Amino acid sequence: MTSSGEEVYLSLQKKFKGDLLRRGEAGYEDARAIWNGMVSRHPALIARCADVSDVQTAIRAAAEAGILTAIRCGGHSLAGFGTCEGGLVIDMSHMRQVIVDPDARRARFAGGCLLGSVECETQKAGLVFPSGVVSHTGASGLILGGGTGWLTRRFGLSCDNVEGFTLVTADSSIVRANARENSNLFWALRGGGGNFGVVTEFEVKLHPLTAVVLAEGLTPESEIRPLLELWRSFMPDAPHDLKWNIDLRLASHAEKVPTELRGKPVAGNSLIWTGDPEAGRKYLDHALSLCSPASIRSSVLPFLKLQTMADSDFPHGRRYYTKSGYFKNLDDTTIDRLVAAVSTIPSSETQIEFAYLGGAAGQVAANETAFGDRGAPFIMNLLANWAEPSADAGNVAWVRGLFNRLRPAMTPGVYTNFMSGDEQDRVPEAYHERWDRMLAVKSHYDPKNFFRLNQNVRARHDAAKNPATD
Ligand SMILES: Cc1cc2nc3c(=O)[nH]c(=O)nc-3n(C[C@H](O)[C@H](O)[C@H](O)COP(=O)(O)OP(=O)(O)OC[C@H]3O[C@@H](n4cnc5c(N)ncnc54)[C@H](O)[C@@H]3O)c2cc1C
């Protein structure tokens, strides 16, 4: 154990109510693992907080020792920010309380919740909080970066549905941020990631919804170009009840996949309709018109089933690498390059993921939250997913090569939750016209950059001269 790790351990030992795990101790190996198997680090100490005062105690001890500190909720940071080598991990996974007020259609939940923890409780009241598509993702990391999912077009981003945050800041004080209190911090927390403190509680709006229509189909390689042309012209005027995601990939060998498509380049279409099923039929049929008829499936799905249906596609411990970007328009050259790329995909689980934002998320003004780029509705995520370390170089090179070929047509900006750990130079791009305001808030709440294992907004050196933002 490093000497500063030992110092933090001795300091916490006296008053910490949760679990403290050091290297070599029972449970440490499981506790140090995060979702992305590409990231294997050995923190000196993992502190699993039992409550808010544990979070304060841990931050205070870490700041005094000057130890590198990672904050972890679900451990799903693609970049691996939920751990560190030789430092402290403040692990929130024991703080998963969810309280729902069905009449007010509001919920409060703790900063260690997984999406599934929130969804199970809100569904008991027939309500939803719009979040991501895999239930084992951490709610904190997802919401603080923005949060997109099946309900984004209907109800907005996750961060658009947060009305208040309670957090412990770098000086270990408890701070509330909402429209009335610390409004600049409230602005920054909606898209600014973990830069400002450890969120211990979210207060959110909920919406009534218990089931959706799910329609899926596979488009064969020869029809991928017309499909992308159809999609780009259809989505700008599509109803907010419709979400249509496209994944370019190699079809699996699963029984449900038509024999002639197995292992071949395809576009997977996944559509959600959140309105009256009959009213959605014509839109779904139109969208699936370029799919192989034998691959088309449609059903009414309970919301909890929707939220867990992709869980096993992204298991813990596999190796992942990602690069992401926005397009204002999907031009013909970009489509040509995408079509050419599908057959070069290096592993069977790797995907080129496309989603169209717009809808309720697109109606929030760009300067209303730190999350921006709502006017560049096409979001692309190149997500390589493989098992063997020997395939690392090939998968990473494929993602980087394709990203570089597509980059000229992208709109500046990137969704920070879809960034890798080697893209720190893109963080100012992620916030572009909002960057100065981000710097001001960071300088005020975390002038020494204690919270730096994130897509990091580095505090100004002259923070003392620019103190007040709220
Ligand atoms: C399988 C999978 C599916 C995904 N699906 C979606 C999706 O549908 N939509 C989407 O928008 N994104 C999605 N993502 C991306 C996801 O939003 C990010 O990976 C996010 O960072 C995960 O949050 P986490 O809490 O699990 O991560 P962690 O690794 O635990 O934390 C990531 C970072 O978040 C910050 N953080 C975590 N907890 C706190 C806290 N309590 N207070 C302050 N800061 C904190 C810290 O900076 C930390 O380094 C997905 C990722 C994966 C791996």
**Cβ of 170 less than 6 Å from ligand 1:** no
Closest ligand 1 atom number to CA of residue 195:
47
Q: Using CB atoms within 10 A of its CB, is residue 343 exposed (0-12), middle (13-18) or buried (19+)?
A: exposed
Is the overall model pTM greater than 0.85, yes or no? yes
**Cβ of 325 less than 6 Å from ligand 1:** no
Q: From ligand 1's centre to the CA of 356, what distance in Å?
A: 20
List the structure tokens of 366: 């760009």
Closest ligand 1 atom number to CA of residue 78:
19
* Of 41, 52, 68, 72, best ligand 1 pocket probe by most atoms within 8 Å of the beta carbon: 72
**Cβ of 362 less than 6 Å from ligand 1:** no
List the structure tokens of 242: 């419709």
**Cβ of 5 less than 6 Å from ligand 1:** no
Q: From ligand 1's centre to the CA of 14, what distance in Å?
A: 31
Q: From ligand 1's centre to the CA of 165, what distance in Å?
A: 16
Number of H helices, E strands in the chain: 15, 18
pLDDT along the chain (470 residues), means of 10: 87 96 95 98 98 98 97 98 98 98 98 98 98 98 98 98 98 98 98 98 98 98 98 97 98 95 97 97 97 97 97 96 96 97 95 97 95 90 97 97 98 96 94 95 97 89 48
Q: Give the integer Cα–Cα distance in Å for 382 and 353.
A: 6
Place of tokens 């992204």: 314
Secondary structure string (H, E, C) spanning 212-257: EEEEEEEEEHHHHHHHHHHHHHHHHHCCCCEEEEEEEEECCCCCCC
Beta bridge partners of 109: 98, 202
Cα torsion angle, 127, 132, 133, 138, sign? negative
Residue 175, CB half-sphere, CA atoms under 13 Å: how many?
24
Q: From ligand 1's centre to the CA of 158, what distance in Å?
A: 12
**Cβ of 164 less than 6 Å from ligand 1:** no
**Cβ of 37 less than 6 Å from ligand 1:** no
Position 3 scores a pLDDT of: 86
Place of tokens 């069905």: 102
Q: Give the integer Cα–Cα distance in Å for 277 and 281.
A: 6
Q: Using CB atoms within 10 A of its CB, is residue 449 exposed (0-12), middle (13-18) or buried (19+)?
A: middle
**Cβ of 71 less than 6 Å from ligand 1:** yes
Provide the residue type at 83 as one letter: T
**Cβ of 168 less than 6 Å from ligand 1:** no
Taking each helix axis from N to C end, the angle separating 224-234 and 277-287, rounded to the nearest 10 degrees, works out to 140
